[in-house]
Amino acid sequence: MPAERAPSSEPTVGAVRGAEEPIKIRESTATGNDKIEILKHQLYDVCEDRRGIVCPAYLDLAIRSVTDTTIATAIIEVTFYDIQGNVVDTAKHEDVELWPDTSRGIRIETSVKRVDLIKSYDVRITRTMMAEQERVQLRRHDINRNEAGEHVLKGVVKNISRVMADAAVVVTFYGANNVEIGRKVVVLRDIEPETIRRYELTFKPHEGDMVGTYNIAIGELT
Nearest to 108 by CA among 43, 60, 156: 60
What is the domain-level CATH number for residue 104?
A: 2.60.40
DSSP reduced 3-state for 111: coil
| Residue finishing a domain among 130, 160, 177 | 130
Nearest to 195 by CA among 166, 154, 161: 161
Alpha carbons 199 and 183: distance in angstroms, whole number: 15
pTM for this structure? 0.75
Kindly state whether residue 155 falls inside one of the protein's structural domains: yes
| Residue finishing a domain among 130, 163, 181 | 130
Max CA pair span of the chain: 76
| Mean pLDDT in consecutive groups of 10 residues from the start of the chain, 222 residues | 57 50 85 96 92 92 95 97 96 95 96 95 96 92 92 96 94 93 96 95 92 93 78
pLDDT at res. 20: 64
Task: Give the residue numbers spanning the domain of 157.
Answer: 136-221
DSSP reduced 3-state for 61: strand
Alpha carbons 96 and 139: distance in angstroms, whole number: 10
Alpha carbons 51 and 54: distance in angstroms, whole number: 9
Beta bridge partners of 41: 61
pLDDT at res. 42: 96
| Residue finishing a domain among 108, 130, 152 | 130
Q: Are residues 141 and 126 in the same domain?
A: no
Q: Are residues 142 and 118 in the same domain?
A: no
pLDDT at res. 12: 43
Looking at the structure of the chain, the number of domains it has is 2
Q: Are residues 102 and 40 in the same domain?
A: yes
